[in-house]
Amino acid sequence: MAAPTLASRLASYAVGLSFDALTKEAVHETKRRFIDSFATAVGAMPSDAYAIARKCALRVSGNPGASLLGGGRSSAEWATFVNGLLIRYLDFNDTYLSKEPAHPSDNLAAVLSVGEAENAGGKDLITAAVLAYEIQCRFCDAASLRKHGVDHVTYGAISSAVAAGKLMKLDATKLTHTVGLAGVCNVALRQTRSGELSEWKGCAFANAARNGVFAATLAAEGLTGPAPIFEGDLGFFQLVSREPFDPAPFGGELGNADGFMINKTYIKFWPAEYHSQSAIDAALQIRAELGGDVSKVASVTIDTFEASYNIIGKYPEAWTPKTRETADHSLPYCTAAALFDGDVYMPTFDENHFTDPARVAFTGKVTINHDAGLDARYPKGIPNRITVTLADGRKIVREVEFPRGHAGNPMTDAEVEAKFRRAVEPKYGAARAGQVLARCWDLESLTSVTELIRMFD
């Protein structure tokens, strides 16, 4: 008997996964990720990209449709795009680092929009979210896409599609077709994250998730998809990953001994690309030792690992960013900002901040080195070593491998709440923020996704 295809394995796993099979740790972490994602979404509401996407989405109606964060309704696909853009735009949502880096909470926009359209309850949302994390993160462990010039959101179209199909209660046959439809036409170019970055950087996964919802919607009505999508002679393994892979057993499957992947992902403490988090941490420690006075800093050297160097440390544009997206993906700028300002937060990436002549000059003092000796410690950790040389020749060195928020140094529930309140209270007030938090901590009893999303109208 032929071995089952990977698409059919994904479908069987999705159909069989139930809320009762989840660990209490996975359920609790899922609640934290919804809280965190709502925080990052509210923080992104002033962005031009959100205004553009929302304007487009409001031209479209859906039956039954779904709600937009910030107000309004559209189709489930467009709601996924708009809400996904918000969750991702500030580069403040969660991260998973492996052969392929990713931001798995990007999947939550599809979970929310399809969950609303399908009148799903809180337990359904949690189960679908854990499912999406399982698929995306196991794929990231199995094969790198960026080394072939393909963007990580390519995996996200598949994970979002399966999560959507789960919420639609599709059977294994239709879910297999969902994977075929999502996998065949959503290969994204890595150019999204190369050189001077554009507004699309924060939209790329939102688009993949939107297309994942579209694939599930078509499959639900009986449309068939290409198969075998992974193993075929012109399939995913041959043309995209360029190698066959067999993901490790998913959470709850026979042979799985390490629980659910959502507990292995990381919440961000600072709104910057994840590989810079340890450099920011180290820089803030050095600033504290200097008593906040950086006037005598002559040079800053960052010794970093391959992934960090190639993603956020090698492009000349990183030293003089001209867009927000380039600034938050700049290892030299993020580190310099931490030293110069004593904090890295949303205003750090305002144009008048990253183009300020004093900060540009300070960033010019930074040198980035790829230290191959650090490579073996990634992706378990993200080791960055900062050496600050003062005008008198004195050197201060700090190295951080597990910054705050990393799975090896996780944020407490109180810290996650504080991140949420810092982003949400200026717009919605303390009372509304407290109401959202209460709903999220009791997410399994939620009966109306619409009511939850409209708390952000």
In the chain, what are the domain boundaries? 6-269+439-456, 274-400
Residue 399's DSSP bridge partners are: 385
Residue 197's pLDDT is what? 94
Residue 82's pLDDT is what? 98
Instruction: Taking residues 266-275, report their average pLDDT.
Output: 96
Residue 258's pLDDT is what? 80
Residue 51 and residue 86 in contact, taking contact as beta carbons nearer than 8 Å? no
Cα separation, 337 vs 335, whole angstroms: 5
**400: helix, coil or strand?**
strand
Cα separation, 329 vs 332, whole angstroms: 9
- 3-state secondary structure labels for all residues of 55-106: HHHCCCCCCCCEECCCCCEECHHHHHHHHHHHHHHCCCCCEECCCCCECHHH
Q: Is the pLDDT of residue 415 over 80?
A: yes
Q: What is the pLDDT of residues 375-397, one digit of tens each?
A: 999 999 999 999 999 999 999 99
Q: Is the pLDDT of residue 97 over 80?
A: yes
Q: Is the pLDDT of residue 135 over 90?
A: yes
Instruction: Taking residues 164-172, report their average pLDDT.
Output: 98
Q: Is residue 252 very low, low, confident or very high in pLDDT (cuts 50, 70, 90)? A: confident
Cα separation, 153 vs 151, whole angstroms: 5
Q: What is the pLDDT of residues 55-87, one digit of tens each?
A: 999 999 999 999 999 999 999 999 999 999 999
Q: Is the pLDDT of residue 9 over 70?
A: yes
Which of 66, 13, 26, 4 lies closest to 448 in space, CA to CA?
Answer: 66
User: Across 202-274, where does the E strand assignment appear?
Assistant: none
Q: What is the pLDDT of residues 271-285, one digit of tens each?
A: 999 999 999 999 999
CATH topology of domain 274-400: 60s Ribosomal Protein L30; Chain: A; (3.30.1330)
Instruction: Taking residues 154-171, report their average pLDDT.
Output: 98
End-to-end CA distance of the chain: 54
Cα separation, 102 vs 99, whole angstroms: 10
Q: What is the 3-state composition of the chain as percent helix, strand, coil, each rounded to the nearest 5?
A: 55, 10, 35
* CB proximity list for 81: less than 8 A, separation 6 or greater: 53, 57, 109, 203, 206, 207, 209, 210
Quote the pTM value: 0.95
Q: Report the share of the chain in percent with pLDDT over 70.
A: 100
Residue 270 and residue 393 in contact, taking contact as beta carbons nearer than 8 Å? no
CB burial of residue 299 (10 Å; 0-12, 13-18, 19+): middle
Residue 1's pLDDT is what? 61
**CATH architecture entry for 6-269+439-456:** Orthogonal Bundle (1.10)
**396: helix, coil or strand?**
strand
The least confident of 216-225, 402-411, 428-437 is: 402-411
Q: What is the pLDDT of residues 302-357, one digit of tens each?
A: 999 999 999 999 999 999 999 999 999 999 999 999 999 999 999 999 999 999 99
Q: Report the share of the chain in percent with pLDDT over 90.
A: 97
